[in-house]
Structure formats: structure tokens, C-alpha cells
Amino acid sequence: MVNCNTDIKFINFLQEELELTRRDIAVALRKREVENGPLPMLLWQYGLVDIEQLERIFDWLEEQV
């Protein structure tokens, strides 16, 4: 199960470091509920981040472990 505090940190990272809008993040979160996929991949799949941003996301997530 995902830690709510971790989700908040991740969303802050997306907004502050990758400059994603709340709307973009909300779209991905809704898709995650329907498709039950990992949020980073959904962001990329729907064109909300590019491949370099996706790599930054994975690097950030790895640092959180």
C-alpha cells in the first residue's frame, strides 16, 4: 500500500520540479483509479511527461526508498 505522505511528496515533486499542473496530475490520478497502473507510466503514456522527465521521476522515486 502506498503511503499518503509519500504521495504528497511525489505530487509536490511533480508540481515543483517538473512543473506539471494540478490538472495534469488530476488526469493521471483518475486514470490510475480506472487502469490501476503506476502513476509515472500513466503520466508518460498520456503525454504529460517526456522520456527525460520520466527518468527524473524514476530517479526521484529511487532516492525515496
Give residue limits of the domains in the chain: 4-63
Query: What pLDDT is attached to residue 38?
Result: 92
The model's pTM = 0.86
Cell numbers at residue 10, please? 511525489
Query: What pLDDT is attached to residue 15?
Result: 97
Query: What pLDDT is attached to residue 3?
Result: 57
Amino acid (1-letter code) at residue 30: R
Query: What pLDDT is attached to residue 37?
Result: 86
| Cα–Cα distance, 55 to 18 (Å, whole number) | 11
- Using 50 as the pLDDT threshold, list the residues of the chain that sit under it: 1-2
| Cα–Cα distance, 25 to 52 (Å, whole number) | 17
- For residues 42, 43, 49 and 55, what is the CA-based torsion angle, rounded to 10 degrees? -70
Query: What pLDDT is attached to residue 1?
Result: 35
